Amino acid sequence: MQISLWIILSGCLLLGACAGSIDPVEQTPQGFRPWSDELPSYGFMPGDELDVKLLYNPEFSDRVIVSPDGYIYLQLIGPARVLDRSPAEVATDLRERYAVELRRPEVTVVPRQFGSEIIYVGGDVQRPGVFKLGHRMGVLEGILEAGGFLDTARTDEVVLIRRTSQNQPMLKVVNVRQLIEGKAYSDNVPLHRFDVIYVPRSSVAEVNLWIDQYINRNIPFTRSFSYTINRDVITSP
């Protein structure tokens, strides 16, 4: 009876480990576009700060912040939508609108601060959360910004998710372990705003989590149970 129970439990552990593991593969999963290192062109986002300068009418020049709805609000022409638009595109639109009110509406749009330069880091890191995107930051630096890996992290299969200019997600798997060892440093993909870094659990950590959730919390035995079974199997005549 004890031997049979041990075999059943061992089989359950193997099945649970297989079912609960995260095994990201660099390919084109359903819903994802093929990965491209080409960065999408910059467009204004909520929280960005910009100068709107009118060369011949400086009294109407202004420094504004993009509101949560993607608009800026100007004293002469009112709200103007700038969400996901480049400085040149915004300047062209404003020039046409100012032309209704002014004779020579020479408009220049100058970005000043980028409040939208953030990344997201989650999974098995010390401090998952939202972080400011620093200058020349790669996947490794993004993880260090979150305090580094937990002991349970799978460092050779870190997932990077990015959106294209058409707002479609792409997925890439990065072997950060090799980066730490000084190998394949060219794989330290430069980060872009709104990138998502996810660090999965190691296989051993997933098995331990499964044991805790489905065995220790549901079967009325202590952690010494498997040791007792092994001892009885060995000492039985």
We report the CATH number of the domain holding residue 88 as 3.30.1950.10
In this structure, the answer to whether residues 86 and 130 fall within a common structural domain is: no
From 64, 79, 113, give the residue that closes a domain.
Answer: 113
Residues in CB range of 173: below 8 A, 6 or more apart: 24, 25, 26, 157, 158, 159, 160
Q: Which pTM does this prediction carry?
A: 0.67
In this structure, the answer to whether residues 136 and 187 fall within a common structural domain is: yes
From 68, 96, 113, give the residue that closes a domain.
Answer: 113
Range of the domain at 136: 29-35+116-200
Q: Does the residue 41 lie in any domain?
A: no
Token pair in block for residue 118: 């953030």
What pLDDT does 182 receive? 83
Residues in CB range of 203: below 8 A, 6 or more apart: 17, 21, 154
In this structure, the answer to whether residues 78 and 93 fall within a common structural domain is: yes
> pLDDT tens digit string along 121-144?
999 999 999 999 877 899 999 999
What pLDDT does 100 receive? 93
In this structure, the answer to whether residues 153 and 190 fall within a common structural domain is: yes
From 113, 131, 147, give the residue that closes a domain.
Answer: 113
In this structure, the answer to whether residues 151 and 208 fall within a common structural domain is: no
In this structure, the answer to whether residues 127 and 108 fall within a common structural domain is: no
In this structure, the answer to whether residues 174 and 190 fall within a common structural domain is: yes
In this structure, the answer to whether residues 122 and 60 fall within a common structural domain is: no
Q: How many domains does the chain have?
A: 3
Q: Which residues of the chain have pLDDT under 70?
A: 1-30, 204-237
Q: Does the residue 15 lie in any domain?
A: yes
Q: Does the residue 43 lie in any domain?
A: no
In this structure, the answer to whether residues 194 and 130 fall within a common structural domain is: yes
In this structure, the answer to whether residues 142 and 159 fall within a common structural domain is: yes
Q: Does the residue 96 lie in any domain?
A: yes
In this structure, the answer to whether residues 128 and 193 fall within a common structural domain is: yes
CATH number, residue 147:
3.10.560.10
Which stretches does DSSP call E strand in the chain?
49-54, 62-65, 71-74, 78-81, 107-113, 118-123, 129-132, 158-163, 169-174, 196-199
| DSSP state letter for 200 | P
> pLDDT tens digit string along 74-125?
999 999 999 999 999 999 999 999 999 999 999 999 999 888 889 999 999 9
Q: Does the residue 42 lie in any domain?
A: no
**Which residue, among 91, 85, 21, has the nearest Cα to 53 in the 3D structure?**
91
In this structure, the answer to whether residues 188 and 123 fall within a common structural domain is: yes
Token pair in block for residue 170: 């792409």
